[in-house]
């Protein structure tokens, strides 16, 4: 039965493309989405590609006919994006005890939280969008292969008497002792300013907050698909239009507050097909992640 109702799209992901096909809608669509992201294609380009593919496949078929239908099909597979209001001067994030405040509580700032348009609709002057660590891990553990590696990989024990060069922390006895007994998901945090326009004439930059899963093997953990983009902190402008470095502390505090809550987490593992108790810990904080290294390990 072809896809013709967005409310049923998600349930057809594991259906064959058409009668007699050995490839599912999920397998085919994931390839198109991967190209769409990697090649920075426009939505219009993906829309035309999907429509053409649907047309040349045997009729009838289950392949999405356009971008909106494809998005509806994978909507439940995507991470939930949270959005919070932030003080325009990056003084505070309006969560917890501050969630109902309309003005920055710091006396030296006292800037309003909201702005109003001509239709008297209120919206936050500055906001921050981020993905929950818990949701990210739940999505990762839905994949059997990833769940297996994340809970079993420990590297090779290095014989110190042989004076073997230790290439990774997971090769040490300290790592084994630290992670034995309970399942731990160990993270490394990194943030650094990036100019997205690759031009020194454009004074703008943003700060991506990225986490690496140390449980993954070294040759995998720094690949783009394995990294976890927690959120992107936008830059601020001064009165002359120049860029101002944001106060990253409040955004990192938001992350740390969630990690504290994840000191004990029950999560479903597709590998064991059963709930699993894990503990999430932050091992290190890195600055200026070497882009050349990331590119070399992702090729």
| Residue 265 counted as domain residue | yes
287 and 162 within one domain: yes
Global model pTM greater than 0.85: no
pLDDT tens-digit readout, 149-198: 888 765 544 455 555 677 788 777 777 777 776 788 989 998 888 777 66
pLDDT at residue 198, rounded to an integer: 62
Q: Structural domain of residue 54, as residue ranges?
A: 6-77
pLDDT at residue 284, rounded to an integer: 85
Whole-number percent of the chain with pLDDT over 70: 83
| Residue 126 counted as domain residue | no
278 and 145 within one domain: yes
| Contact assessment for residue 168 and residue 155, using Cβ atoms and an 8 Å cutoff | yes
| Residue 158 counted as domain residue | yes
| Residue 88 counted as domain residue | no
Q: Which of 162-171, 205-214, 256-265, 268-277 has the lowest mean pLDDT?
A: 162-171
Locate the DSSP E strands across the chain: 81-86, 114-116, 122-124, 126-131, 183-191, 207-213, 228-233, 236-237, 243-244, 265-269, 274-287
162 and 37 within one domain: no
pLDDT tens-digit readout, 188-210: 998 888 777 665 666 677 889 99
Is the pLDDT at 143 greater than 90, yes or no?
no
Q: Long-range contacts: 1-4, Cβ < 8 Å, 24+?
A: 1/60, 1/62, 2/60, 2/61, 2/62, 3/62, 3/63, 3/64, 3/65, 3/69, 3/73
Tell me the average pLDDT across 93-105.
93
| Residue 113 counted as domain residue | no
pLDDT at residue 133, rounded to an integer: 94
Tell me the average pLDDT across 95-121.
91
Q: Residue 297: pLDDT band by 50, 70, 90 thresholds?
A: very low
172 and 70 within one domain: no
Question: Considering its fold, how many domains does the chain have in total?
Answer: 2
Report strand pairing: 274-287 vs 183-191: parallel
Sheet with strand 81-86: strands edge to edge: 81-86, 126-131, 228-233, 207-213, 183-191, 274-287, 265-269
261 and 149 within one domain: yes
Selected residue with higher pLDDT from 1 and 247: 247
């Amino acid at each position: 039965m072809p896809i013709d109702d967005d409310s049923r799209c998600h349930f057809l992901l594991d259906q064959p493309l058409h009668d007699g096909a050995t490839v599912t809608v999920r397998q085919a669509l994931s390839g198109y989405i991967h190209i769409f992201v990697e090649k920075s294609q426009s939505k219009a380009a993906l829309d035309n590609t999907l429509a053409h593919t649907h047309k040349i496949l045997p009729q009838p078929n289950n392949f999405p006919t356009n971008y909106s239908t494809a998005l509806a099909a994978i909507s439940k597979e995507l991470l939930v994006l949270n959005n919070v209001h932030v003080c325009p001067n990056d003084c505070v994030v309006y969560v917890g005890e501050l969630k109902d405040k309309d003005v920055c509580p710091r006396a030296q700032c006292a800037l309003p939280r909201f702005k109003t348009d001509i239709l008297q609709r209120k919206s936050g002057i500055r906001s921050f969008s981020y993905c929950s660590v818990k949701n990210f891990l739940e999505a990762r553990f839905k994949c059997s292969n990833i769940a297996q590696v994340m809970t079993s990989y420990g590297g090779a024990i290095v014989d110190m008497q042989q004076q073997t060069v230790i290439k990774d922390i997971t090769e040490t006895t300290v790592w084994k002792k630290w992670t034995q007994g309970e399942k731990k998901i160990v993270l490394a945090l990194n943030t650094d300013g990036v100019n997205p326009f690759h031009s020194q004439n454009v004074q703008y930059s943003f700060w991506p907050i990225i986490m690496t899963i140390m449980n993954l093997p070294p040759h995998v953990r720094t690949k783009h698909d394995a990294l976890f983009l927690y959120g992107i902190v936008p830059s601020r402008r001064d009165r002359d239009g120049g860029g101002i470095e944001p106060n990253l502390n409040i955004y990192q505090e938001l992350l740390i507050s969630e990690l504290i809550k994840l000191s004990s987490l029950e999560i479903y593992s597709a590998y064991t097909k059963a709930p699993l108790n894990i503990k999430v810990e932050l091992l290190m904080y890195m600055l200026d992640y070497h882009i050349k290294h990331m590119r070399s390990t992702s090729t």
